[in-house]
Amino acid sequence: MRKNIVAGNWKMNLTLSESVSLIKELKTKINQDSLENTRVIVAPTFVNLFAATEVVEDTMIEVAAQNMHFEDNGAFTGEISGKMLQEIGVNTVILGHSERRTYFGETDEILKKKVEKAIENNQEVIFCFGEQLEERKEGKHFEVVTSQVEKALFELGAENWKNIILAYEPVWAIGTGETASPAQAQEIHAYIRKFIAENYSSELAETISILYGGSVKPANAKEIFSKPDVDGGLIGGAALKADDFTAIVNATI
């Protein structure tokens, strides 16, 4: 059975003390015993990752990074490598978020290199993809999402997909309060799963967790997560509030 995953993408929010107290609050609020098939991940900003790994110790909460570079080290001012993350106990990384693509110029080619580096390091990747509003209006959303997934991931060997989690995040739904309907999410998730099945195998496609992201909140999480091809969510704004994030985690049960 595929794992449900609820991952909180904290983006450029929360100082060290705020990050530590949010995790401490989550530790008391999330009932770990009820979450047999759900993984809970938080992704604080880089400077707070190490502290986060210490605070989550002895819990089922995992810590992920929001980005990494495709080289191990070198003259790349301001960048962070996968090796640096691994040494502080962070083995999961979000790659391809639309904010990275839009504001920081991350192309399919760059993302392919990042994914390949993560795989070489045996890191786990939460790979984001999703169409812009204009692309959906023009009916190009299927084409856009398959192209993003294909360009960054389809040169991976089948054995490497055990390290891949997908996150469909329609750009028009991120931080806007507008959510894709459960049917719209299901449609893209099923389409991507079929695309993976056609290029690899249906056995492999059935094992891949595909998260939905874009204005998920306690009020809509249950219905979105109930769709057969939606295996949890990547949560932005609502991940910054312990009660909301806990309610979204509980919506996977």
Residues of this chain that interact with ligand PGA (CB under 6 A) are: 9, 169, 174-175, 213-216, 234-238
Shortest Å, Cβ 136 to ligand PGA: 16
User: How far apart are the C-alpha atoms of 173 and 165, rounded to whole Å?
Assistant: 20
Q: How far is the CB of 120 from ligand PGA (least distance, A)?
A: 25
Residue 132 or 160 with smaller CB distance to ligand PGA: 132
Give 160 or 182: the residue with its C-beta nearer to ligand PGA: 182
C-beta closer to ligand PGA: residue 28 or 65: 65
Catalogue the long-range contacts made by 130-134 (C-beta closer than 8 Å, 24 or more residues apart): 130/98, 130/168, 130/169, 130/170, 130/171, 130/174, 130/213, 130/214, 131/170, 131/171, 131/172, 132/171, 132/172, 133/171, 133/172
In the residue annotation, 69 being an active-site residue is answered as no
Catalytic choice (62, 131, 135, 169): 169
Q: How many CB atoms lie within 10 A of CB 11?
A: 17
Q: Which helix (H) or strand (E) holds 64?
A: strand 61-65
Q: Report CA torsion sign: 43, 5, 151, 185.
A: negative
Shortest distance in whole angstroms from residue 31 CB to ligand PGA: 23
Q: Which is nearer to ligand PGA, 215 or 246 (CB)?
A: 215
How many of the other CB atoms lie within 10 Å of CB of 114? 24
Six token digits for residue 215 = 């204005």
Q: How far is the CB of 219 from ligand PGA (least distance, A)?
A: 13
Give catalytic status of residue 141 as yes or no: no
> What is the helix, strand, coil percentage profile of the chain, to 5?
50, 15, 35
Partners of 248 in beta bridges: none
**Which is catalytic among the residues 69, 97, 141, 189?**
97
Considering the complex, state which of residue 28 and residue 141 has its C-beta at the smaller distance from ligand PGA: 141
Query: What is the set of active-site residues?
Result: 97, 169
